[in-house]
């Protein structure tokens, strides 16, 4: 597998396999593909998304989740760039949460963007939950808004996001910014999936955090915060402004859950 430790000009996305044992999860051999921070519109285009969709279909996960910053906020978004998603959703149930870039572009009209994704068959979770039922595997999937939404009248609402969950079921929560997980105390979940940090580079520590890594916070990768309760932060896939990744390869996360 090729690595793009420093990848300004040749974009290579690798598959990152993560194996988790979550005793409270209802089934084993369950696969989630997480796509975070694709940032379509700056450097990555529709043909990139077409190839990414093919890769996900080849993996054949149980579900695919897109954990925010699918687009970049300061572009004139031609929604046609998203059209390959309809081939993904025809084969793989796909769920989306907003990142700061979707909120930054659509602001109080974020519903307009979510409606466009719904037309492509993408299930959107904006401060809400759904129950995933696939054979004997039944669990809550919660999708939380982004912190920046407060500026535009579409705030992150954790209480509302969890309000309708079935407390007898395991819960997976999607939240773009891992820094927001500090507000989740008292809310039940076995796994949270995030991105945003681009391998640690989009933090106060900047490029330095790519080198020093986690340092006790939710910057990069996997952390078991309690027994059987995990936080996972993806490196993400694309670039927001500068096409540069230092020790933070672009990755499709392939998360395999067992419950032994």
- In the region spanning residues 25 to 84, those forming contacts with Fe ion, defined by CB under 5 A, are 69
Question: Smallest distance, Å, CB 178 to Fe ion?
Answer: 10
Distance between CA atoms of residues 121 and 18, nearest Å? 27
| Residue from 99, 149, 199, 200 in contact with Fe ion (CB under 5 A) | 99
Q: Name the residue whose CB lies closest to Fe ion.
A: 196
Q: How far is the CB of 152 from Fe ion (least distance, A)?
A: 15
Six token digits for residue 104: 């930054």
Minimum CB–partner distance for residue 117 and Fe ion (Å): 17
CB of 30 to Fe ion, least distance (A): 26
Segments in 92-168 forming alpha helices (H)? 100-106, 110-119, 158-162
Residue 196 in the binding site for Fe ion (CB under 5 A) = yes
Nearest to 39 by CA among 257, 195, 215: 195
Residue closer to Fe ion by CB (options 69, 253) is: 69
The window from 167-175, 193-201, 206-214, 220-228 that contacts Fe ion (CB under 5 A) reads 193-201
Strand order in the sheet with 123-124: 13-21, 250-258, 30-35, 63-67, 94-97, 123-124
Q: Pick between residue 99 and residue 145 the one whose CB is nearest to Fe ion.
A: 99
Least distance to Fe ion, CB of residue 197, Å: 8
Q: Between residues 44 and 190, which has the closer beta carbon with respect to Fe ion?
A: 44
- Distance set, CA 121 to CA 73, 115, 255 (Å): 22, 10, 22
For Fe ion, the closer of residues 177 and 223 by Cβ is: 177
For residue 201, the tally of other CB atoms under 10 A from its CB is 24
Show the tokens assigned to 69: 């910053």
Which residues of this chain interact with Fe ion, rule CB under 5 A?
69, 99-100, 196
């Amino acid at each position: 597998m090729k690595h793009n430790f420093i990848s300004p000009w040749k974009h290579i996305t690798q598959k990152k396999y993560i194996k988790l044992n979550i005793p409270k999860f209802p089934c084993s051999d369950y696969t989630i593909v997480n796509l975070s921070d694709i940032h379509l519109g700056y450097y990555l285009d529709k043909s990139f998304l077409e190839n990414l969709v093919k890769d996900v279909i080849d993996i054949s996960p149980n579900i695919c989740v897109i954990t925010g910053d699918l687009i970049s906020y300061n572009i004139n978004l031609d929604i046609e760039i998203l059209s390959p998603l309809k081939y993904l959703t025809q084969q793989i149930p796909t769920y989306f949460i907003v990142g700061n870039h979707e909120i930054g572009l659509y602001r109080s009209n974020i519903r307009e963007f979510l409606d466009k994704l719904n037309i492509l068959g993408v299930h959107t979770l904006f401060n809400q939950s759904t129950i995933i039922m696939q054979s004997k595997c039944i669990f809550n999937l919660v999708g939380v808004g982004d912190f920046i939404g407060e500026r535009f009248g579409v705030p992150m609402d954790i209480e509302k996001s969890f309000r309708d969950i079935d407390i007898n079921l395991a819960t997976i929560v999607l939240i773009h910014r891992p820094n927001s997980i500090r507000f989740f105390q008292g809310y039940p979940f076995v796994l949270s999936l995030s991105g945003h940090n681009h391998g640690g580079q989009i933090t106060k520590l900047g490029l330095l955090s790519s080198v020093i890594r986690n340092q006790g916070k939710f910057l990069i990768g996997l952390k078991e915060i309690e027994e059987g309760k995990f936080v996972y932060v993806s490196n993400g896939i694309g670039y927001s402004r500068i096409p540069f990744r230092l020790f933070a390869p672009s990755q499709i996360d392939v998360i395999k859950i067992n419950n032994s």
